[in-house]
Amino acid sequence: MADDITGDQDGTTVTAQVEARPEIDGEQRSRVGLSPAAVELLQKLTQQHGQLMFHQSGGCCDGSAPMCYPEGEFLTGGSDVLLGTFTLPDVPAESAEIGFWMSKEQFEYWKHTYLLVDAVPGRGGGFSIESPTGLRFLIRSRLLD
């Protein structure tokens, strides 16, 4: 099921091209999607870096941006929740799966929210690997049905 989200500031409507496989026990519906622009950027990044992962930043310096890292470069643990796993099309199987993580504390605030990862012009934050591309990942959100 495709999810449409209209951006708060720019009025752009974006539809998910790829939905994450739910990873939270008992959940049937995806909480996270990728826009076509995010899919295209991730396909390029996997060619350069191999398997990737996301960790949703908690705000402050990164402004709640989803941070993208090579798989395993950002350590997750018992204080993190795996919301879903994307299967990226048109990339080698060993690089196709991308987990989307968030801290448990932040998940308590966002648990009623569907997140759509988009890619827009700009500079990525922190150590997120898209920084040199001229694009940055951005979260568009809406309340879950």
How confident is the model over 14-53, as pLDDT tens digits?
A: 999 999 999 999 999 999 999 999 999 999 999 999 999 9
Q: Phi and psi dihedrals of 17, rounded to 5? A: -90, -35
Whether residue 63 has pLDDT greater than 60: no
Whole-number pLDDT of residue 26: 96
Average pLDDT over residues 117-138: 91
For the structural domain made of 16-143, what CATH number should be given? 2.60.300
Q: Is a pLDDT exceeding 60 seen at residue 133?
A: yes
CA-based Rg of the chain, rounded to a whole angstrom?
A: 14
Torsion of CA 100, 82, 29, 145, to 10 degrees: -80
Q: Please report the beta strands in the chain, taking only residues with DSSP state E, as ranges in sequence order.
A: 4-6, 13-15, 18-19, 21-22, 32-34, 52-56, 66-70, 80-87, 97-103, 113-121, 135-143
Cα 133 to Cα 15: distance, rounded to the nearest angstrom: 23
Q: Which of 41-55, 96-110, 116-130 has the lowest mean pLDDT?
A: 116-130
- Output the six-digit token pair for 74: 């950002």
Three-class SS of 75-115: CCCCCEEEEEEEECCCCCHHHCEEEEEEEHHHHHHHCCEEE
| Closest-CA residue to 38 (of 106, 86, 102) | 86
Per-residue pLDDT averaged across 88-106, rounded? 96
DSSP designation for 10: T
